[in-house]
Structure 1
Amino acid sequence: MGTRVSIAVVSVAVTAVALAGCAGEVSDVERAQAKVSASEDAVAEAQDAFDAASDEFCQAGESYIEALDRYGDVLNETAPTVGDVRTAGADLVEPRDDALDSAQAAVDTQADLVSAEQELADARAELAAAEAGPTGTPAPVDTAMPSASPLAPAATVDRVDQAESEFDAALSAVTDDTPLSDASELFNSAAVELEMAWLRLFADAGCLADEQQQQAEAAVRAYTTALQQELTTAGYYTGAVDGIYGPLTVEAVESLQEAQELPVTGTVDKATAEALQAELIALGGVAAQDAVASTAAVQQTLKLTGFWDGPVDGVWTPELTEAVAAFQVELGVEPTGTVDAATIAAFEQAISELQQATPTPSPSSSDG
Structure 2
Amino acid sequence: MTDHRSARVGGELTLARVVASVVTGGLLLLATGCTDRPEPSDVAIAQADVTAKKEALADAEAEAADTAEAFCAASSTYITALDRYGDVLNQTATTVGDVRVAGKDLTDPAAETKDAAQAAVDARAALAEAQADLADAEAVLAAAQATASGLPAPEATVDDTANPTASAAPASVTRVQQAEAEFADAQAGITDETPLPQAAEQFNAAAVALEIAWMRLFADSGCLSDEQQVQASAAVVAYTVALQQSLSDAGYYAGGIDGIYGPQTVAAVQALQQANGLPETGTMDKASEAALRATLEAQGGAAAAAAAASTAALQQTLKLAGYWDGPVDGQWTDALTAAVGAAQTDLGVPVTGTVDAATIAAFQSALAAAGEEPSPEPSPTESTDS
Q: TM-score, normalised by structure 1?
A: 0.85
Residue 268, structure 1, aligned to residue 284, structure 2: yes
Equivalent residue, structure 2, for 1:326: 342
Shift in CA distance, 44/275, structure 1 to aligned 2, threshold 3 Å: same
Task: Output the CA distance in 1 between the equivalents of 2:346 and 2:293.
Answer: 28
- Structure 2 counterpart SS, 1:206: coil
Residue 111, structure 1, aligned to residue 125, structure 2: yes
Residue 336, structure 1, aligned to residue 352, structure 2: yes
Q: Percent identity?
A: 57
Q: Where do 1:141-290 residues align within 5 Å? A: 144=159, 147=162, 154-290=170-306
Pick from 128, 138, 150: which aligns with 2:142? 128
Task: Output the CA distance in 2 between the equivalents of 1:99 and 1:344.
Answer: 22
Task: Output the CA distance in 2 between the equivalents of 1:178 and 1:120.
Answer: 60
Task: Output the CA distance in 1 between the equivalents of 2:48 and 2:298.
Answer: 74
Q: Cα distance, 1:133 vs. partner?
A: 3.6
Pick from 70, 74, 82: which aligns with 2:96? 82
Residue 138, structure 1, aligned to residue 150, structure 2: no
Equivalent residue, structure 2, for 1:13: none
Unaligned 5+ segments in structure 2 are 1-33, 376-386
Which region of structure 1 is more displaced relative to structure 2, 299-308 or 162-171? Answer: 299-308
Task: Output the CA distance in 1 between the equivalents of 2:228 and 2:359.
Answer: 19
What CA deviation, in whole Å up to 9, does each residue of 1:159-213 have, x standing for no partner? Answer: 1110000001101222223223134334311111111111111111111121111
Equivalent residue, structure 2, for 1:304: 320
The residue identity in structure 1 corresponding to 2:46 is A
Maintained 8 Å contact 1:152/1:205: no
The residue identity in structure 2 corresponding to 1:214 is V
Shift in CA distance, 295/143, structure 1 to aligned 2, threshold 3 Å: closer
Task: Output the CA distance in 2 between the equivalents of 1:169 and 1:160.
Answer: 14
Shift in CA distance, 242/23, structure 1 to aligned 2, threshold 3 Å: same
Maintained 8 Å contact 1:152/1:201: no
Shift in CA distance, 152/296, structure 1 to aligned 2, threshold 3 Å: farther
Aligned residue-pair number: 338
Which region of structure 1 is more displaced relative to structure 2, 121-130 or 339-348? Answer: 121-130
Pick from 26, 29, 43: which aligns with 1:29? 43
Q: Which has the larger radius of gyration?
A: 2
- Structure 1 counterpart SS, 2:103: helix
Equivalent residue, structure 2, for 1:48: 62
Q: Cα distance, 1:95 vs. partner?
A: 0.9
Shift in CA distance, 312/267, structure 1 to aligned 2, threshold 3 Å: same
Equivalent residue, structure 2, for 1:346: 362
Task: Output the CA distance in 2 between the equivalents of 1:207 and 1:31.
Answer: 41
Equivalent residue, structure 1, for 2:82: 68
Using CA pairs under 8 Å that are at least 6 residues apart, name the structure with larger relative contact order, 1 or 2.
2
Task: Output the CA distance in 2 between the equivalents of 1:145 and 1:249.
Answer: 38
Which region of structure 1 is more displaced relative to structure 2, 85-94 or 236-245? Answer: 85-94
Q: Cα distance, 1:305 vs. partner?
A: 1.7
Which region of structure 1 is more displaced relative to structure 2, 107-116 or 243-252? Answer: 107-116
What CA deviation, in whole Å up to 9, does each residue of 1:297-328 have, x standing for no partner? Answer: 22222222222222222222222222211111
Q: Cα distance, 1:53 vs. partner?
A: 1.0
Task: Output the CA distance in 1 between the equivalents of 2:35 and 2:355.
Answer: 74
